[in-house]
Structure formats: structure tokens, C-alpha cells
Amino acid sequence: MMKIINTICPNCSVGCGVGLIVKDDKVLGVYPNKRHPINEGKNCLNGRTCYKIINHEKRLKNPLIKKNGAFVEVSWEEALNYIASHLKKYNGDEITFIASGKCTNEDNYALKKLADGLKAKIGHCICNSPKVDYAEISISGGIEDAKNIVIIGDVFSEHALIGRKVIKAKDKGAKITIFNTEEREILKLNADKFIKVDDYSDIDLNDFKDDLIIINAPIDTDKFKNNKFKNFKILPVAKHCNTVGATLLNIPALNREEYFNLLKDSEFLYIVGENPALVNKNILKDVDFLVVQDVIFTETADLADVVLPTKCWAEKDGTFTNFEKKIQHIKKAVDPQHKALEDWKIIKKLAEKLNINLGFESFDELHKEVMNYLKDLN
Ligand code: SF4
């Protein structure tokens, strides 16, 4: 029998509602959730293909250990014992965990607890997102009712559903000013005024009055803090579905340079859901022991000593925090066809091998603790 599971698109920070079409424990397709307040029955092209990761040709199916230069499939027990025995050889300051804006709040929270238990370093990469102290800043929506909108970066190509709201505002008479380092046609088409800049930090914010400023560029928004600029509201747009959530969990948000420096400084590196080797393979060359935990076999997994398969977003419950700091639930639609586990469950099992008590026994307990932690930050 066919059923529809309403969940959240994992492909960017907007957090649109999607309905997964499920039959015989298989996801056949996706359609936009017509009742969801964020996307109002629309999904962008990227969102319409979000279910394809489930049966991706590079899906990891079993834990892998590299033996004599080649990966060998092993049991969960063997993989976790192997990692634990290596972890014990390092001091906390030699160990780094990399969390991800693509993982749920529950997954990242569990990883942070393990890192804290080992007194290890932890961070997550914000890629080209603005750097924002989300705990301190109030996020302004109201795009469709704004009269003057300034966009720094490109929301039309990268977060199409935000672009749609800007176009609606323009139809109602809003004036649109766009700053970008590239002269993209789509930006010129939608702007009343397009300004090319060499560097986003050249933009003088004092020029703006009564504007809504949407920022989708690598800017440190310390200088945008509400107490400094009273003339405008700001709406930073994070890259991934849970970049904001990872930041709110107090996992250091790193720009590309800070991220690569942290990777380079690590002896024992445990990467969850990220693929730095796609950008720079050499960045990991001095890492002594590398664990990669991911949904698919990536360029970074190829360099690892141990690779652990995780459930994708359609195979588990959890929460994402979107660009407006709205916490939304994702729902399990299907079981994986292999041995993948939830990220938080793998982390808990590993913690047990290390005699570290993470303080929760089930997803429900973990979720409750995360919601408690986040409730004062919104
Ligand atoms: S705008 Fe983002 S969240 Fe919405 S459908 Fe597109 S990729 Fe998914």
C-alpha cells in the first residue's frame, strides 16, 4: 500500500516541507508539502531530487577497515573496537571531531558530548555561509512585505525558495539591490540595482536605511549585530539544512580557512558527514588515523582507516534547525537495505567502548535533552 511521509527537504537551510511517496518500504518519489508554511506547495529542482541519496550507487552498506591498503567489510563490533583501541593512544588535544550541518541536531549533539568527554576538539564547516552568532542574533523574516531589500550574494540560484519570496516582494513594489562578486544574469534580471564588488567586506552597511538585508555570502556578521545597526533587519542564509542547528549546539562554526587549519592540526580525525578531500586531497595527508562516518563512499572515505555507514535522512527521526532558527522534525520513511545506523547510535556505541556515558539510552531521551538545550536559544 502506498503512503505519504511528510518530512523536511535536507538539501538546504530553507527547510521546505516534502512528502515522500513510499510503497513496499521503498521511496518512489517526492512532492512538495502543500500545507507547509515555508514553501507553500513548491520545491526547487534540488528539492525534487532529494530522495535520490537513498539508493545512491555509492551508498555505504557495511563498516569498512583498511587492511594492507584495501578496504575489507567488517562487523560493527570489529570496526568500533578497532577505532576505540586507536583512540586510546591519543591525548584529547590530538583528537578532532568534525560535525556537519547536514546531520540532525541529535546526531551533532551526541558527537559534541563524545568530543567533550574526550576533551577533544570539535568544529563544523559553514562553507560559504555568513558567520553568525545565532544565539545572539534575532532573525528577521518578512521578505514578502519588505519595501527595500538588499541581497549580498545569490539567493536565486542557491536558495530558490527565498528567491521566490523576493520576487513576490518585487511584484508588490519592493526595490531590490543586489551585491555580488560575479555578474550573474539571474541577479541582473531580478535587481533594480546590481552592484559588482571585488570583496563582500567592501560593502558599507552604513548606507542602508529601513532595509531588509539578506546575506548569502561568507561574511562575518559580527558587524551586523542588531545593537550596532538599527536601521535595517538582517536575514543570514546558512548553506546546509542544519548549519544553524550545529552552531546553536555550540559547535564552533568554522569558515573554510579555519576548517582546513583544524584538519591539518589533527592527529586522530573523526569526520561525520563531510568531504574535505573533494576540495583538497592533500589537506589530510598528515593525519595519523582517519575515521569517516557517512551515507556514501566519498573522496574523504577513500583516504580513511575506518569507514562507517550511516542512515540517510529518510531512514531516521530527528530535527533540523532552518535558516530562521525554526526547529523542524524529520521522519523516518523507510528502513535502510543494509547495515547503516543512525549517526547518534554509532557515536553512543563508540562511547560505550571508551567507558564514556553520554547520558541517554534511547532516541527519545536524546531528543528531549537536545530540545531542552535549544529551548533557551531561540
Ligand atoms: S529551497 Fe532548499 S529546502 Fe527548499 S526544496 Fe529547494 S533545496 Fe529543498
Atom from ligand 1 closest to the CA of residue 43 = 5
- Average pLDDT over every residue of 356-368: 98
User: pLDDT tens-digit profile of 3-15?
Assistant: 999 999 999 999 9
The letter for the amino acid at 370 is V
Question: Binning pLDDT at 50, 70 and 90, where does residue 212 land?
Answer: confident
Q: Give the span between the Cα atoms of 42 and 7, in whole angstroms.
A: 14
User: Could you read off the pLDDT of 76-89 as tens digits, one per residue?
Assistant: 999 999 999 999 99
| Whether the CB of 159 sits within 6 Å of ligand 1 | yes
Q: pLDDT at position 221, please?
A: 72
Confidence band, pLDDT 50/70/90 cuts, at residue 288: very high
Ligand 1: atom nearest CA of 161 is 1
Confidence of residue 362 (pLDDT cuts 50, 70, 90): very high
* pLDDT interval class at 225 (50, 70, 90): low
**Cβ distance 348 to 293 under 8 Å?**
no
What is the per-residue pLDDT for 251?
97
16 lines ligand 1 (CB under 6 A): yes
Domain limits, the chain: 2-55, 64-128+243-374, 143-236
Domains 64-128+243-374 and 143-236 share a fold: yes
Percent of the chain with pLDDT over 90: 77
- The 10s digit of each residue's pLDDT in 100-141 is 999 999 999 999 999 999 999 999 999 888 888 888 777 766
- Ligand 1 pocket check for 333: Cβ under 6 Å: no
Q: What is the mean pLDDT of residues 264-287?
A: 95
Is ipTM beyond 0.95? yes
Cite the DSSP H helix spans in the chain: 45-48, 76-87, 105-117, 155-158, 160-171, 185-190, 243-248, 256-264, 299-302, 343-353, 363-375
Residues 6+ apart with CB under 8 A from 362: none
Q: Does domain 64-128+243-374 have CATH number 1.10.260.40?
A: no
How far away, in angstroms, is 164 Cα from ligand 1 center? 11
Distance (angstroms) between ligand 1 centre and the Cα of 276 equals 23
CB of 18 closer than 6 angstroms to any ligand 1 atom: no
Confidence of residue 227 (pLDDT cuts 50, 70, 90): very low
- Tens digit of pLDDT for each residue in 146-161? 899 999 999 998 888 8
Is the C-beta atom of 46 inside 6 A of ligand 1? yes
pLDDT above 70 (res 51): yes
pLDDT for residue 322 is more than 60:
yes
Rounded Cα–Cα distance for residues 309 and 293 (Å): 6
Name which CATH class applies to 143-236: alpha beta
Task: For the domain covering 2-55, report its CATH number.
Answer: 2.20.25.90
Nearest to 233 by CA among 221, 247, 220: 221
Q: Is 93's pLDDT higher than 90?
A: yes
Q: Choose which residue among 6, 20, 53, 161 to substitute to test ligand 1 binding: the one with the highest number of ligand atoms within 8 A of its C-beta.
A: 161
Q: What is the pTM of this model?
A: 0.93
160 lines ligand 1 (CB under 6 A): yes
pLDDT over 50 at 191, yes or no: yes
- Average pLDDT of the chain, as a whole number: 92
